[in-house]
Amino acid sequence: RLWIGGSDGVSVRLPDGSVRSYDQSDGLVWPDISQAGFWMEDDGAVFIGTGRGLAYFDPSADRPVDAPPNVVLTSTAVGGVERRAGERVEVPHDQGVFTARFSGLAFRKASRARFEVQLEGLDDEPILTKQREVRYAALPAGEYRFRVRCQSAAGAWSAEPATFAFAVLPPWWELWWVRAAAAALLGLLIVALVQLRVRRIERDRRHRGIVRP
């Protein structure tokens, strides 16, 4: 094992070539490692000198946690109003704002958890982020489904995503029956204009003494 200390914790190069990092979330007293601040015991345990005290590392007790973390939605709001998962949510077109807060239930190195978020109906691909909150504003009319998964520091992904579905309704002038009615009215107007034009032509013919054969 090759131990390397710096200003943000310790990295260890393992015999298989992989590298693991440790910081305060792993129990390190302080992230700033003192120069030449390592002492290894015969059993492989290591004393690590930091800027705030001495840390002790027992490699026999260090086991990576590969269990997939659960992910939960802690808050969801549509149109500025808190909503609950599972209920049918529909908002007018001028309230198309969606916010969500979420958390990954990964207790080991929770600060290093990453999330994969996607708003189906808007995002073409999932987005990776370390943030625990998203906000979408001025959403157009349509059906949406928000999905979020969590990746633990060990690289394990949530078995199931947390989801939330909602809909932004179109404005009244985009409703199908309004468009159908408008098309029908336009058709009637065209027919009325044609009939009016035909009547004028017939009247002009009568005034000029022209009679149809």
pLDDT tens string 169-178: 987 666 666 6
Kindly tell me if the per-residue pLDDT of 209 is higher than 80.
Answer: no
Q: Report pLDDT digits (tens) over 42-76.
A: 888 899 999 888 999 887 776 665 678 889 999 99
Q: What is the mean pLDDT of residues 111-134?
A: 92
Provide the greatest CA pair distance for the chain.
125
Q: Sheet containing 90-91: give its strands across.
A: 90-91, 162-168, 142-151, 114-120, 127-129
pTM: 0.61
Confidence of residue 23 (pLDDT cuts 50, 70, 90): confident
